Structure 1
Amino acid sequence: MVVIAVGTSTSPSHPPSVDVKITSCAVDSATRLPTARLEIHNHTSKASTYGVTVEFDEPNGTRLSEGAALSLTVAAGQTVKTTAGGSDQVTQKVTCKVTKVNRIAG
């Protein structure tokens, strides 16, 4: 499994991308849908909402599917676990890559 995190930020000292970690990346054998399990840890001092986009790729880098996860009101210092599922069925192994993280305080 290859994991790459890329994010957006309004605070260069603490970009939202460092708050998100992919903990597993797999294709469900029954549905053939790719899934990435995510762990989001709010390192800021304010409750925040997180929107995370994940890309599911072939090992050579070709995109096969895309998915997203939304976690509302993650308290300061809190860690939450969530899942981003792809919308396209695939038949081979995939790599997962976080392509965008939006963190909105409040």
Structure 2
Amino acid sequence: MVVIVVIVVVIAVGTSNSPSHKPSADVKVTSCAVDSTTRLPTAGLEIHNHTSKASTYSVTVEFDAPNGIRVSEGAALSLTVASGQTVKTTAGGSDQVTQKVTCKVTKVNRIAG
């Protein structure tokens, strides 16, 4: 009699693509305003690197009017955010606006290294 035993080993490896480590999960908007002098919108951002490697982040922010129409867009770049580190930065809009805006992160790129 021959008995065949099959052992299946499943190894879970955390990667930057897992839901808890998506680049967009590392960034949150902390403030959103329009400068009364320049009329340019600005978003305060907080970036927390949840990965195990230092990373560079590029963040794109959309500025929307109360009716939901995009009125401006801006970006921020943070170089060499250490593993576990939190940094604060701002993204400024490129178009003058005359009303209140809401700020929404639309894209986050994280490059390890």
Q: Same fold (TM over 0.5)?
A: yes
> Does the alignment pair 1:52 with 2:90?
no
Aligned residues: 97
- The structural deviation recorded for 1:57 is 0.4
> Does the alignment pair 1:63 with 2:70?
yes
Give ranges in structure 2 of 5+ residues lacking alignment: 1-15
Residue number in structure 1 paired with 2:30: 23
> Does the alignment pair 1:95 with 2:63?
no
Q: 1:84 aligns with which of 75, 88, 91?
A: 91
**Quick one: distance in 2 between partners of 1:60 and 1:33?**
18
Which structure has the highest strand share of the two?
1
**Quick one: distance in 1 between partners of 2:18 and 2:67?**
31
Residue number in structure 1 paired with 2:50: 43
Residue number in structure 1 paired with 2:12: none
Instruction: Specify the code of the residue in structure 1 equivalent to 2:18.
Output: P
Partner of 1:17: helix, strand, or coil? helix
C-alpha deviations, 1:41-91, integer Å up to 9, x for none?
A: 001100000000000001221000000000000000000000000000000
Q: Could you list the structure 1 runs, at least 4 aligned residues long, displaced by more than 3 angstroms after superposition.
A: none
**Quick one: distance in 2 between partners of 1:70 and 1:44?**
17
Compute the RMSD of aligned alpha carbons: 0.8
- The structural deviation recorded for 1:12 is 2.9
Q: Percent identity?
A: 86
**Quick one: distance in 2 between partners of 1:27 and 1:59?**
13
> Greater relative contact order: 1 or 2 (C-alpha under 8 angstroms, separation 6 or more)?
1
Residue number in structure 1 paired with 2:18: 12
**Quick one: distance in 1 between partners of 2:18 and 2:82?**
21
